[in-house]
Structure 1
Amino acid sequence: MCHHQHRTIARQRMLSLLTLVALLISVLSTPVFAQDSGSIQVIEGNLQKGQSHFYTLPDLKMLQKVYVLVESTSGNLDPFAALADITLDREQVSQEFGADVEKAIAEGRDPLTVIPEVANHFFLKWDDDSGPGYTAMFEYLIPTNGVYQLIIFDSPGQSTFGDYRLTIGLDAPEALSGKAAPRGEAIAFLDTTGDKTNVAVQETRGELTESRTSTFHTVQDLKAGDTLYAYVKTTDGDLHPILLLEDFGGKALATANFSGAQQVASLQHTVDEDVSNYHIRIIAGKGESGTTTGSYTLLVGINEPSVLTGSLTQTAGVALHEPTQVLVGIKMDQITGVDQKAENFGIAATLQMEWNDPGLAFSPDECDCRFKQMNVGAFEKLIADKDLTWPEFILFNQQGRRDAQSQTVVLTPTGRTIYYERFSATLQAPDFNFRNFPFDTQQFYIRVRSVLPDEYYTYSELPDFSGLGDQLGEEEWIIEDYQVETTLEDGNAQFSFGFQSSRHLLYYVSRVFIPIFIIILVSWFTFFLKDYGKRVDVASGNLLVFIAFNWTISGDLPRLGYVTFLDALIVSTFIITGVVVVFNVWLKRLEVNQKESWAQTIDKYSIWLYPILYVASFAFVWWFFV
C-alpha cells in the first residue's frame, strides 16, 4: 500500500513537472509583441510640404508606456514624430524648430548634431529614422499624469510630403511591429483648432477669344462636406462669362449667369462624398455682335465663402490644379536626307522632357535608391496603376512612323520626371520656298505637340539642352542657325525646334553656272565668224543644251507654281539664244539677197550687244529674285 502511494505521488510530481516545462516552453516561444493588453490605434493622414499634424493624448497615467510608429505610405514623405507636454506652444514650435535648425546649419554646424539638440530642447521624446527605412518609431514611459501631444511633420531640411500611417499603442508594444490591429479605446485625437488645411483660396486669370470660346480649370480633390465657391469677373473686353461646375464625367452640377447677361458670375456647391477631377468651366456668352471676348479673373475657394464677394483671402491651401509645366528640349544629331520633290526631310534626334508630378513621388527607402529608371512600357503601367496622366506628345509634322531607338524614364523621389528618347523620323517641310534656288535658305522644323490641351500641360524650353550635333551628315546643306519657340496651337501646347540651311554652292557653280558661262562665251566667239550659217548651227545647238540643263535641274524640285531664280536664268538664256538664232538667220538672208555690206555693218555692233544683253538680263534676274 505504501509502495503504491509512493508511485502515485511520483507520477503526480512527474505530471506537474511536465506541465511546468510545457508552460515554460509556451511562454518562451511566444513573440514579444503577442500581448493583448493595452490599446492600439491606427490613423491615416496626409502631410503636405511644411505642414504639421498635432494629436492630443488626453488623460495619460504615470508609468503607462506609449509606443509610436509612423510609416510613409505614399509620396516621398520622411516622417518625424515627437512627443511633447501639452504646454508646448504649437505656433512657436511650428515657426522656431525648423528656423533654429536652418540657422545653425547656416552657421556651419553639422546638421546631424544640430537636429538632436534642437529636438531635445522642444520635445520629451522624438524620432526620425529608428524604424525600417525612414520610419519614425519610439516608446516613452509617461513620467506623470496629464495631457500630452504627439506631433507629426516631415524630417527637417527635407521638404517631403505624402500619406502616412500612424500606429500608436498604450501599454501595447506590438504597436511597433507595423502589423498590429486596432483595439481598445482611442488614444490620440487630431487637433483641428485653427486648422486651415481644409480651407483654400486661389486666384487665376485667363482670356477667351474668337478662336477659343471656352476653357476650364481643374479643382483640387474635395472631401465629403466640403463646399466649393467660385467667382469670375471680366477685367478687359466685353466678355460675359458663363460659369459651370462639372463633375469628372462632364455633367453640370451648378451654373451661374447661364444667360450670359452679366460680366460677373458666382456659384457654390457642397459635395457629400470624396470627389476628384471636378472642373470649373468658363464659356463666353453671346453679345449683340456675336460671341463676347476678353480677359477674366477667377477666384476659387474651398470652404471659404468670402470668395463670393470677390475678395481674396490668403490661405496655405491650394484650390486648383495648375497646368503642369513641361520643359522640352531637342538636340538634332543628324540629317539623314532631304527630299526636295516630296518636301520632307529625315532626322535622327534626341528629345528630353522634364516635369514634376507629386503623384509619382516615392520614398527612397522603398528601393534604397536615389532614383528609379524604367522603360516606357513600365512607366505607362505605373501611370495607369496610379490613375494619372503624363504629357504624351506627337511629332505634328511627322510622316509615317517614328522609330524610337531608346526610350527611358527617370523618376526622382520628389516626383520630378525625366523622359528621354532618341528617335529617327521623316518630317514634312511645308515651309520650303524655292524662289531663290539655288541661293535659297530653307527653314526646317521639328514640331512637338501635346496630346492633352493646355489646361493640363504647358511647354517651356529646357535650359541648356537644345542644339545641333557636331556631325550632321548632310553634304548638300549648310546648317546656319537654330531657334526654339513654344506656342499654343488649337488649344494644345507646341514646342518647335527650327533650323535654317543654305546650299553648298560649289555643286551649282561647277555643274551649272560655269558650263552656262562657257557656252555663252563660245557662242560669243562665233560672232567673230563671218559664216552666218555656222553661227545658226552653233546657236541652235546651244538652245538644245539649255533645254537639257532645264530638264536636269527640274528633276531636283517639285512641280512648282512659281518661277525660281535658276528657272528665270535659264529662260533668259533661252530667249537670248533664240533671238541670236533668228538674228543670224536674218543676217544670212541679207547675205543671200546681196546685202552683205548691210549685214556686216549690223553684225559689227551685235558683237558687243550680245554680251551686254546677257549681263543686263542676268543682273535683272539677280535683282528681282535675290
Structure 2
Amino acid sequence: MRNLVFYVALSVSMIVGKLFGATPIRLNVGIYVRSVSMNNKEQQAIIDLYYWYRFKMPEDTSDLSSYYNLEITNGDLLFNDIQEEKVIGDAYYVSGHMKGVFHFVADYENYPFDKQKLMIQFEHPTFEVGDIVLVPDQASYLKCKAHPDMWGLSKNLKADGLFIRKSEFVVGERVYETDFGDPNIEEPNSTYGNLTYFIYVSRDFLPYVLKFMLPLIIIVSLAYLVFYIPAESLDLAAGLTVTSLLAGIAFQWTVSDDLPEVGYLTCVDKIFYLSYVLIMLAMAQTVWTYHLEINGNKKLSDFLEIAGRWVFPLAFFGGSLYYMISSFYR
C-alpha cells in the first residue's frame, strides 16, 4: 500500500515537473539473485546477483555513468563487474554482476525458528529526488511472468540452510540534514531517493534442533537418574546433578557462539534455562527425600521419587515443545 501511495505521488510529481520543466529521470532497477547465505553472528548476508539499470537518454550524454553509478548503503561489495552497456531506442541500458556482504537488523528471539528480512539498498550518491528517482523494473518482471512475491529471485536460487519466503521492492527516500562540509550548499537539507530490495527468509530449523536437543537430552538424562538412586547415596546424586548442570552451561556457550550478544532470550535460551531449573529441582528433591528417609518417613520419600520420575520428563519435553511451537508460529 505504501508503494502504491509512493508511485501515485511520484507520478504526480513528474506531471508537475513536466509543467514546470523539471522532470526527474526515472531509473529502472532490476536484480536477479543467484545465491544467498547468512552470517548469524555478524548479522550479514552474502548475496550474489545480476543487476541492470535502464533509463531514458538525457539531453547531456557526456557522462552517462553518473546516472547509474548507484551506492549500496547497507553493505560492502566483494566485486562489481559491469558486463554490458548499450543504447536501446531512446533508453540507455546497463547490466552487471555483483556480490557483496549486506548488513541487516536481525531478530533472534525465535531462533532457530526465526524469520529474517535481508536487504539490499540502492541509493544515488549525487542526484537528489528532484533529479532522479529509483523504481523497480516492473516491465521486465511482468514480461517474465514472475509472481510479484518472487521478483528478482532465481528458480534455482542457492540458499544455504534457508527457505526463501518472498521478496519485495520498497521505494523510499532519505533526508540528510547536513551540508557535508560544502560551503556552496545553502540549505543543509538534501533528500536522496533509494530503492530497497527485501528478501524474507526462514531457517531450515531441523538440523539446528537436532544439534542442540539431542546433546541436551543426554545432559538432562544424567540429572534424571537421581530419581533411581537410593536416598542414602546423596553424594552420588549430587555429583550427577552438578555434572549435568555444568555440562549444560558449557554446551549453551557453544550453541550461543553462533549468535551475537543480544539483550533478550532466544527460544534456545529458554529451553536451556528450563533444563537448569529442572536439574536444580531434582537436586532439591533428592536432598528432601534423603532427610525424609533418615527421619523415618520412607513412604513419602518413595512417593516423591516416583512422582519425580514422571514429572521431570513431562516438564522438560512439555516445556521444550511449548517454547518451540510458540516460536515456530510467532
d(CA) in 2 for partners of 1:402 and 1:529?
60
Equivalent positions of 1:39-438 (< 5 A) are 320-335=21-36, 337-359=37-59, 383-384=62-63, 390-399=67-76, 401-412=77-88, 414-430=89-105, 432-438=106-112
Q: 1:479 aligns with which of 143, 147, 164?
A: 164
Deviations 1:413-464 (A, max 9, x none): x43101112111111112x100000000111011111221110111222133
SS in 2 for 1:341: coil
- Conservation of the 8 A alpha-carbon contact between 2:54 and 2:91: yes
Residue 450 of structure 1 is matched in structure 2 by 124
Equivalent positions of 1:422-571 (< 5 A) are 422-430=97-105, 432-451=106-125, 452-463=127-138, 464-465=140-141, 466-490=151-175, 491-521=191-221, 523-524=223-224, 526-531=226-231, 532-533=233-234, 534-571=236-273
Q: 1:591 aligns with which of 272, 293, 303?
A: 293
Amino acid of the structure 2 residue aligned with 1:439: F
- Conservation of the 8 A alpha-carbon contact between 1:476 and 1:503: yes
SS in 1 for 2:67: coil
Bigger-Rg structure (1/2): 1
- Conservation of the 8 A alpha-carbon contact between 2:112 and 2:209: no
- Indicate how the Cα distance of structure 1 residues 548 and 352 shifts in structure 2: closer, same or farther if over 3 A, else same: same
- The count of residues paired between Structure 1 and Structure 2 equals 290
d(CA) in 2 for partners of 1:299 and 1:404?
34
Give structure 2 stretches of 5+ with no counterpart: 1-10, 142-150, 176-190
- Conservation of the 8 A alpha-carbon contact between 2:224 and 2:282: no
Amino acid of the structure 2 residue aligned with 1:347: I
Higher strand share: 1
- Conservation of the 8 A alpha-carbon contact between 2:34 and 2:153: yes
Amino acid of the structure 2 residue aligned with 1:397: N
Deviations 1:490-544 (A, max 9, x none): 2222212111112122322321123333444564455234355333332222212
Q: How big is the shift at 1:355?
A: 0.6
SS in 1 for 2:306: helix
Q: How big is the shift at 1:480?
A: 2.4
Amino acid of the structure 1 residue aligned with 2:160: E
- Conservation of the 8 A alpha-carbon contact between 2:81 and 2:98: yes
Amino acid of the structure 2 residue aligned with 1:460: V
Amino acid of the structure 1 residue aligned with 2:206: L
SS in 2 for 1:383: coil
Amino acid of the structure 2 residue aligned with 1:440: D
- Indicate how the Cα distance of structure 1 residues 508 and 391 shifts in structure 2: closer, same or farther if over 3 A, else same: closer
SS in 1 for 2:107: coil
Higher helix share: 2
d(CA) in 2 for partners of 1:298 and 1:524?
75
- Conservation of the 8 A alpha-carbon contact between 2:53 and 2:95: yes
d(CA) in 2 for partners of 1:601 and 1:321?
86
Residue 147 of structure 2 is matched in structure 1 by none
- Indicate how the Cα distance of structure 1 residues 331 and 459 shifts in structure 2: closer, same or farther if over 3 A, else same: same
Structural RMSD (CA): 2.9
- Conservation of the 8 A alpha-carbon contact between 1:383 and 1:389: no
SS in 2 for 1:390: helix
- Indicate how the Cα distance of structure 1 residues 338 and 389 shifts in structure 2: closer, same or farther if over 3 A, else same: closer
Structure of higher RCO (CA pairs closer than 8 Å, 6+ residues apart)? 2
Amino acid of the structure 1 residue aligned with 2:28: L
- Indicate how the Cα distance of structure 1 residues 512 and 327 shifts in structure 2: closer, same or farther if over 3 A, else same: same
- Indicate how the Cα distance of structure 1 residues 496 and 593 shifts in structure 2: closer, same or farther if over 3 A, else same: same
d(CA) in 2 for partners of 1:489 and 1:344?
22
d(CA) in 2 for partners of 1:536 and 1:419?
71
Q: How big is the shift at 1:396?
A: 1.2
d(CA) in 1 for partners of 2:49 and 2:301?
67
- Indicate how the Cα distance of structure 1 residues 323 and 579 shifts in structure 2: closer, same or farther if over 3 A, else same: same
Deviations 1:40-59 (A, max 9, x none): xxxxxxxxxxxxxxxxxxxx
Taking structure 2 as the reference length, the TM-score comes to 0.77
- Conservation of the 8 A alpha-carbon contact between 2:219 and 2:248: no
